[in-house]
Structure 1
Amino acid sequence: MKFLYNLLILVCVINLAACRDDFNYEPATGSELTFSKDTVYLDTIFSNIGSSTYNLKVYNKSNKDIKIPSISLGKGDNSHFRLMVDGMPGKSFNNIELLAKDSLFIFVETTVDIKQQTNGKEFLYTDEILFQAGNNQQKVDLVTLVKDAVFLYPQKFQDGSYESLNFGDTQIYGFFLDENDVVNGNELDWTNDKPYVIYGYAAVPPNKTLNISAGTEIHFHRNSGLVTFSDAVIDADGSIENPIVFQGDRLEPSFEDIPGQWDGIWISQDSDATFNNVIIKNAVDGLFINKNKLPVNLTNLQIYNCEKNGLLLQVANIIGKNIVTNNCGVAALNINYGGTYDFTHCTFANYWNRQNQTAVVINNGDGTNEFALQAHFKNSIIYGNASESLLMAPANKETNFTFKFEYSLIKFLNSGNRFDTTNFPYNFTNTVNFNNCLIAKNFSDYQPHFFNSSKNELMITDKATSLINFGSSVYAQQVPQDLAGKSRLTSADLGAYQHVSSSVE
């Protein structure tokens, strides 16, 4: 009896399924489909480098289950776009089923060799996705901008290994730049003709100079960077109108401000550099300088969005003018193990959105003569969202720890009274160390009213009345123009910029 009962239930289920018409797909007529967008814009890519994956959503707005006869790329098998439809990769698809009031995703990627398309530096590559239904055809356009570039990367040898560099006791994935490379020519002369895309560590060989022209764009892949060897030099000479830009190789807008996309620039021991009108962004440590020989001149330098430090300086010798920093996970300026530093009209800001960060950190290692510190800050701003934007750690109190701030703004709330502000190094009334400084001891005093710190626009505005014309005219003469080229000789505001109007904030 129980067997007959179960058999009856099974028969009923089969009959009910047979009565359903959900699985009877009708050919699409072309009127049922709508799309999440009319055009899929794939962001800018470099020649022969695959894009990110983008998606298009296709909707069946009708009350019937349909079968789309054909989905294909307009250029067919010759198209440089790639599709994935309903989990299947390809360039053309037939009889795609879509339930009533349901939708499906189409994923789109592309890789384009610019040399097969044009001799130009960049061009728009286009195609379309065609949806054929009887005599009706619908389409969605595909557009991407393709840039030509100079690609620099380690060689691969016949045994499958790759070129590498011995850097101290460490072997790193990298290569020496060659002034007589068979493909790229002189790799020690970077121009603005094409962007540079670097995989691994590009190294300036001993006793060689890397010259970088104004307007040059340099892009680094993940775990890549630029490094110098002994007696090597980097001469990066941009202009206000055409700065040199170091950044990651992800060109999508969503990666515009993402920290840690590449490792950074490393000026190693006994090498030197000049950075003039340069932007460094989205690195781990933006610029690391270690025991350089001659003073490194950093002028009109901007460093943003670094996972750790913007400027990491170790027993270095630096002359800095019109430097701007922001959004760094440890410090905007980290002076480690002493050195000799002279900063004029700099804005060391840090608005990193997590804890345990600050604007400026200074220490002198174990306090021995080898790590002696001499630091001078003039007409500058040290500020951010940390309670204390200046942290100093002298090893042996005043021994080998010489510093002076003049005509500068320093944010120092001394939260929880953690610091002794009556003694060295935080005695702000001591004019030997702090001469004519503005000390912001709460969130309202001496606010710089930056134009837009979230977008790295660190110009003070006309609301920052305490900072306007507060700078020393003597030090302003050492840096007569601000980072934007505006004269400060008649009225020297604090920081790297003269103030701007806040009316459009």
Structure 2
Amino acid sequence: MFDVHYFHRMRLAIAFILSVVVFSLGSCKKDQLLTSADAKLTLATELLTFDTVFTTVGSITKSFTVVNAYDQPLNISNIQLMGGSNSAYSINVNGSSGTSFSNIRLNAFDSLYVFVKVNINPGSSDLPFLVKDSIRFSINGNTQQVQLQAYGQNARFISSGRISSNTTWNNTLPYVIVKPLTIDNGITLTITEGTRIYCNATAPIIVNGTLKALGKVYDSTRITFRGDRLDETYRDFPGTWPGIVFNNSSSNNELRYINVLNAYQAVIAQGNPNDVTPKLTLFSCQISNAYDVGLLAFNTKIVAENCLISQVGNDGETGLGGSNVLLTAGGNYTFNHCTIATYANFYQNHKQPSLFISNNSGSQSLPLQVQMDNCIVYGQGGLATDEIVVSKTGNTAFGIQLRNCLYKVKNDPANVTFLNALKNVEPLFDSISTSRQQYNFRLRDESPARNAGLAGGPSTDLDGKPRPAGTRPDIGCYEKQ
């Protein structure tokens, strides 16, 4: 008699055996090396580029992936740094350093990492120079390459920690400040036009004497202070170096046509508010992309004209940080044709006002005098509702006057005199794109700040373009031409 159950069990057994055979055959295939002469690795890039690297300093490590996109394993017969041990580059493959690596098995759909670092030796060139090499991958008789290139730059490395005699820096080579640098009491450091200064993450410039940074109007003749990380990931980060500090003993400091970029607290000045000569004179300066404060003043005397203090402030507490300009503990301050503005973005959350003014120093109240003419104080996109916040305590002399200024607040601060003000109107800057990190604070034709200023200020704007003589100029640091 035909056993239906037996027949069904036999069918299941045969199906199981066939599936095992098919699986085994498939597994065997997947375990077999792909030896086709057409096989190629999938390289994440064919060109790995490093931005300007200072000689002897090196750079961050960059990496790229090497992928086996096939369903069979591959054998990479060789990975070779073509410059060998004499190369300016060094490589690491999956955790192992060397210049040549042989017989690396890369399983199906698997990947490995190649890490690359560059260190450029000093040369005779004063200008940036190009350093090249390549990494060759050999597989099944085929070769593929990733090109390496870096721009090297010679520099003068300042590691002594202090300047103890009158010194002049020029623009022949950039300066890299390796550790905190102090200008001693009674000593003057003069920096000439076009000089570039790059500071390490732990290297503030501390001025106990005098700093005179005397640039000129063109981009090539302006003086630039910034962090020493120029690679793509870090070059636009705020807070990549501490900033410049003018201590109580310093005097007669001048910053003309300078850029202070990407600092933590870009410029700090303190002490001597009653001196005839200001502690610090700022003329046609740009202070941009600071993490905490752009200009921080403690009971001192500052004159600022034609200055742009922009894109500043991440977190911070009101009166302590997070503002473009923070004037505290009293003092004597004059601002003319300055633009103070922040648009919230990934780097600056703009929680605090763009401008904070206070006469407080702990429990003490100190005299305060602030005069602002033809200035823009504006912000957008953050949590700050008032772009100007004022704190007054005690009965000491206290005066704040803003004439012909454009500003944004929900409520006007007390103890401030506003004359001919433009309140809560958009300045209509030329172009702002927070997503692309592009900020052009020049004015459009239709800006309400056009022809709304007081005459008698500086004759040229931040770009060195003329302001009209005897008629009303534009408000802010730029004059629409």
2:467 maps to 488
User: How far is 1:61 from its partner?
Assistant: 3.8
Give the SS at the match of 2:324: strand
Match of 1:275 among 238, 242, 255: 255
CA distance in 1, matches of 2:25, 2:141: 33
- Is 2:443 aligned against 1:473? no
Kindly indicate whether the alpha-carbon contact (under 8 Å) linking 1:366 and 1:395 is maintained by their aligned counterparts in 2. no
User: How far is 1:100 from its partner?
Assistant: 3.1
1:3 maps to none
Kindly indicate whether the alpha-carbon contact (under 8 Å) linking 2:163 and 2:187 is maintained by their aligned counterparts in 1. no
CA distance in 2, matches of 1:88, 1:240: 50
Q: Provide Cα deviations, 1:447-502, integer angstroms capped at 9, x if missing partner.
A: 443532643421122231x211001123xxx30111001111255110000137xx
1:177 maps to 163
User: How far is 1:299 from its partner?
Assistant: 0.2
Kindly indicate whether the alpha-carbon contact (under 8 Å) linking 2:296 and 2:326 is maintained by their aligned counterparts in 1. yes
User: How far is 1:369 from its partner?
Assistant: 9.5
2:267 maps to 287
1:47 maps to 55
AA aligned to 2:62 is Y
CA distance in 2, matches of 1:104, 1:270: 57
User: How far is 1:290 from its partner?
Assistant: 0.7
User: How far is 1:114 from its partner?
Assistant: 2.5
User: How far is 1:255 from its partner?
Assistant: 2.0
Kindly indicate whether the alpha-carbon contact (under 8 Å) linking 1:369 and 1:400 is maintained by their aligned counterparts in 2. no
- Is 2:147 aligned against 1:141? yes
- Is 2:304 aligned against 1:320? yes
Kindly indicate whether the alpha-carbon contact (under 8 Å) linking 1:198 and 1:220 is maintained by their aligned counterparts in 2. yes
Distance 1:228 1:112, change over 3 A: same
User: How far is 1:56 from its partner?
Assistant: 2.3
CA distance in 2, matches of 1:333, 1:59: 50
Match of 1:252 among 210, 228, 231: 231
Q: How does 1:63-142 map to 2 (within 5 A)?
A: 63-115=71-123, 118-133=124-139, 135-142=141-148
Moved more, 285-294 or 213-222: 285-294
2:337 maps to 345
Kindly indicate whether the alpha-carbon contact (under 8 Å) linking 2:359 and 2:365 is maintained by their aligned counterparts in 1. no
AA aligned to 2:325 is L
2:192 maps to 213
* Count of residue pairs the alignment pairs up: 435
Q: What is the TM-score normalised by the length of structure 2? A: 0.84
Is there any run of 5+ residues in structure 2 with no aligned partner, and where? 1-19, 314-321
CA distance in 2, matches of 1:124, 1:73: 18
Distance 1:44 1:56, change over 3 A: same
CA distance in 1, matches of 2:36, 2:127: 43
1:169 maps to none
Kindly indicate whether the alpha-carbon contact (under 8 Å) linking 1:220 and 1:248 is maintained by their aligned counterparts in 2. yes
Is there any run of 5+ residues in structure 1 with no aligned partner, and where? 1-11, 155-174, 180-185, 427-432, 501-505
Match of 1:23 among 28, 31, 35: 31
Q: Provide Cα deviations, 1:69-112, integer angstroms capped at 9, x if missing partner.
A: 11101111211211121332211100111223433221111111
Instruction: Please give the root-mean-square deviation of Cα atoms over the aligned residues, in Å.
Output: 2.5
CA distance in 2, matches of 1:374, 1:323: 19
Q: Provide Cα deviations, 1:139-190, integer angstroms capped at 9, x if missing partner.
A: 1210011111111124xxxxxxxxxxxxxxxxxxxx21255xxxxxx8x221
1:60 maps to 68
Q: How does 1:163-242 map to 2 (within 5 A)?
A: 175-179=161-165, 188-229=167-208, 232-241=209-218, 242=221
CA distance in 2, matches of 1:120, 1:290: 37
Q: What is the TM-score normalised by the length of structure 1? A: 0.80
CA distance in 2, matches of 1:383, 1:297: 23
Distance 1:148 1:178, change over 3 A: farther
Kindly indicate whether the alpha-carbon contact (under 8 Å) linking 2:91 and 2:117 is maintained by their aligned counterparts in 1. yes
- Is 2:356 aligned against 1:364? no
Question: Between the two proteins, what is the percent identity of the paired residues?
Answer: 28
Kindly indicate whether the alpha-carbon contact (under 8 Å) linking 1:328 and 1:357 is maintained by their aligned counterparts in 2. no
